[in-house]
Structure 1
Amino acid sequence: MRTLLLSLTLLIGNVLSRLYMPNVHINYNTLQSIQTIDSHGKAQLSFKILQIPDMHYTGTPSHLCRNPPHDPCHESNMTSYIEQMLDNVAPDFVVFTGDQVEDIEVTHTADEVRHAIDSYTKHVIKRKIPWAMVFGNHDEGSSMSRLEMFDYISSLPYSYTKLGPEWIGGVGNYELHINSPDFMPVFRMYFLDTGFDGVISEAQNTYMRDLALWYRYQDLSAIMFYHIPIPEYNLYDGEVLKHGYQGEAVCNGPQSGLLDNLVKMGDVKATFVGHDHLNDYCVERHQIQLCYGGGAGYGQAYGSPTIARSARVIEWQRNSSKETLTTWKVADGDYTKSAYTLFERSFN
């Protein structure tokens, strides 16, 4: 009965949104949170996300590494790392945050592009892990457009990647909802396409803001994934990092007003990007944590001989008394959990 009532509520909400908020296309794709017992013996909901950034797959396992941390080093090392990471972290959901595949030259066929996509998705599909992605600036091929790539990606097993509205800019602006066991929404994720140069359109900002406005009655926390960092990822002179490391200058997109928009939205507590492979820090701006994922790529992806390839875990938890959002880095060969609190609130 509860499921039927929820379905009717969502249907009515979709109709009303078309009438009163025509630019909002409600996307009711949902995932299930995990119910466990916390250290105090109370019921607890949780959801663990693994962010895998900047793989730059060519689909050729023997492709030699740029900036190798060891010798020999090939794209196959990335495959081994990702498989070990999936098994050690055991995520409930995986997000690929851009530059999944390397630029595909004109000499490559559409079949070769699909092979590169298959090379990075097969690991999560084999383990039946739900997953989604946003495009990076390298995810493009002259033999296969982004839209064609997107159609293929969204058709793959366990993919929760959605196109979203096509008139606001970018390919793939959407949201996903995490539900409780009784089918009520408890957490949300937004996905934003930053294109080839980090440009976020006014229409994209408006769309995300309208989504948050439509869901405001839920009073839920949310996070956002995109590829190219916004200018606010830059550190101030003398700023001391509380979490992570800066290994290169921030290569941000132009000022788009996204951070101001996130403040207006009110639900986003943290954002997660890739693009700069040697950065893995989080900084707080206007009570929103701006985090890097690191760089997971061997093979064609640039890296450092002295900085381990890495990815990021984000874990949401909620019980009757509080809600927390924590994160930690997983470097190749080091799966020690050293959690950092991004957000916390009490319900008492």
Structure 2
Amino acid sequence: MGSRSVMWVLSLAFMSCAVQVLGQDQLRFKDGKFEITVFSDLHFGEAEWTDCAECQGYDQKTVAAMNRILDKEKTDLAVLNGDLLSGEAMHAGSNLGNHIDRMLRPLVDRNVPWASTYGNHDRDRYADPNVILAKEQSYNSGTKRAHTRKQLTGADANVGATNYYLPVMDTSGRNIALILWFFDSRAGNALQTGNALDRSVAPEVVEWYKKQQADIRKIYGKDFPSIAFVHIPFKSARDLQARRKENVAAAPGVDREGVDYQGRACPTCTYTGSDVSFAQALVDTPNLIAVVSGHNHKVDWCMKWGNDRPLASNPSKGNGVNVCFGRRAGYGGYGKDLQKGARKILVREDRVKNNEVETWNRLEFGAISGRATLNSTYGMDKYPAAQE
């Protein structure tokens, strides 16, 4: 078999592995657009605290917020970007599946596919990410499509549960136009023991990511435009936050708390630098448009991380990647004074080739906040102030 034939076979093998996931329909652009709605920090399950009267209605309010947002925003893929549950509220008699069913109902009712990352509140003494994952994947029949998966094997405490990628095909369905990467930032507490877990994307995951990139590049001879999702941001996001104060109009969004980040060893939460290899791998990724996080309930801006003014943190240069946060979507957790919402990412097939996307936060009661175009001039353009 000639070298060209071998490459063709390898390409088919990659496509089969990458696109045919659990028998689901492939993700693809429709009429030149692919629309993502990111729900961060939903925090279902706080009604398990039976001594909290206020908590009893949170899940119903969160479902209503999701419904309102989805009624306004056409969605080709919903991303559930960590802290799906408030795991610390769970007890020995809790049924995690019931909470996941309730969370997914707005998506299932609309036949909207979804993909998740898991966060620190999704793992606790009685909250098992593997149970959450199995429940999500139980919807993989008919048009009820869960794209969440565990592509890197290993114990949850060691590598996390949600490390994987999804190719998005162009309108024709024949070519990859975009790759979505999902990472598990771990943290939280261990199942049964309640011991604190490492608070960063694992080194094994970083090496896996590099290998997947290299394999894709070898087969296709190119680096596709991509977007990454991870619940807890890396430390450089905190330094970018300080820089944002110099020109708020260039990075519209809510900014009402200091960014909490990976690499902190709790309970003392001393910074260890364990997030550096992950952050470096991301900024070294050609054509990575944005890294989208949650975790910080009172932050929802995007910042351009360039090379012209290196940060004090490591890595110091971001190669132009946009570091974004989504509006907190759930009624559980802290930060109850802000209106709930979700980050929308509109990807146009003719513009993503230039690493350009449009984004905004759709608020629960209809308003759009912080609308911006993430392109080569983002960080210099001026935008209206965000709505809280």
1:337 CA displacement: 7.1
The code of the aligned residue for 1:277 comes to H
How many residues matched? 315
2:289 to 258, 269, 284: 269
User: Any conservation in 2 of the 1:314–1:327 contact (CA below 8 Å)?
Assistant: yes
> Which residue is 1:3 aligned to?
none
CA distance in 2, matches of 1:284, 1:229: 14
The structure carrying a bigger strand percent of its residues is: 1
CA distance in 2, matches of 1:259, 1:321: 22
1:78 CA displacement: 1.5
> Which residue is 2:325 aligned to?
292
Alignment of 1:126 onto 2:109: yes
Distance 1:204 1:27, change over 3 A: farther
Alignment of 1:336 onto 2:326: no
Question: Map of 1:10-21 to 2, 5 A cutoff?
Answer: 10-13=11-14
User: Any conservation in 2 of the 1:105–1:142 contact (CA below 8 Å)?
Assistant: no
CA distance in 1, matches of 2:294, 2:119: 8
User: Any conservation in 1 of the 2:159–2:204 contact (CA below 8 Å)?
Assistant: yes
1:304 CA displacement: 3.6
The code of the aligned residue for 2:99 comes to A
> Which residue is 2:146 aligned to?
159
1:338 CA displacement: 5.7
CA distance in 1, matches of 2:79, 2:59: 20
Alignment deviations for residues 282-320 of structure 1 (CA, whole Å, 9 cap, x no partner): 11222000101121111x321242x21221001111228
Alignment of 1:171 onto 2:178: no
CA distance in 2, matches of 1:146, 1:232: 27
Alignment of 1:88 onto 2:79: no
1:108 CA displacement: 4.1
The code of the aligned residue for 1:129 comes to V
> Which residue is 1:22 aligned to?
none
Alignment deviations for residues 147-204 of structure 1 (CA, whole Å, 9 cap, x no partner): 1221221222310011111137111100001112242111110000000153122221
Alignment of 1:251 onto 2:283: no
CA distance in 2, matches of 1:220, 1:274: 24
TM score, norm. by length of structure 2: 0.73
Alignment deviations for residues 35-59 of structure 1 (CA, whole Å, 9 cap, x no partner): 1xxxxxxxxx210000000011117
1:136 CA displacement: 0.9
> Which residue is 1:33 aligned to?
29
User: Any conservation in 2 of the 1:65–1:75 contact (CA below 8 Å)?
Assistant: no
User: Any conservation in 2 of the 1:198–1:230 contact (CA below 8 Å)?
Assistant: no
Question: Map of 1:135-214 to 2, 5 A cutoff?
Answer: 135-143=118-126, 145-156=128-139, 157-167=144-154, 169-180=159-170, 181-196=172-187, 197-214=198-215
User: Any conservation in 2 of the 1:303–1:309 contact (CA below 8 Å)?
Assistant: no
1:7 CA displacement: 9.3
When structure 1 is superposed on structure 2, of 221-230 and 240-249 the one drifting more is 240-249
User: Any conservation in 2 of the 1:193–1:200 contact (CA below 8 Å)?
Assistant: yes
User: Any conservation in 2 of the 1:317–1:325 contact (CA below 8 Å)?
Assistant: yes
Gapped regions of structure 2 (runs ≥ 5): 1-6, 188-197, 264-272, 306-317, 378-388
Alignment of 1:327 onto 2:356: no
Distance 1:52 1:14, change over 3 A: closer
Distance 1:115 1:179, change over 3 A: same
Distance 1:141 1:114, change over 3 A: farther
User: Any conservation in 1 of the 2:40–2:327 contact (CA below 8 Å)?
Assistant: yes
> Which residue is 2:234 aligned to?
230
The structure carrying a bigger helix percent of its residues is: 2
Counting aligned pairs with the same residue, the percent is 21
2:33 to 46, 66, 76: 46
When the two chains are superposed, the root-mean-square deviation of aligned CA atoms in Å is 3.0
CA distance in 1, matches of 2:214, 2:83: 31
Alignment of 1:312 onto 2:346: no
Alignment deviations for residues 206-248 of structure 1 (CA, whole Å, 9 cap, x no partner): 1112222222324321000110111011123553332212111
CA distance in 1, matches of 2:333, 2:237: 22
Q: Per the alignment, in what secondary structure is the counterpart of residue 375 of structure 2?
A: strand
CA distance in 2, matches of 1:267, 1:227: 21
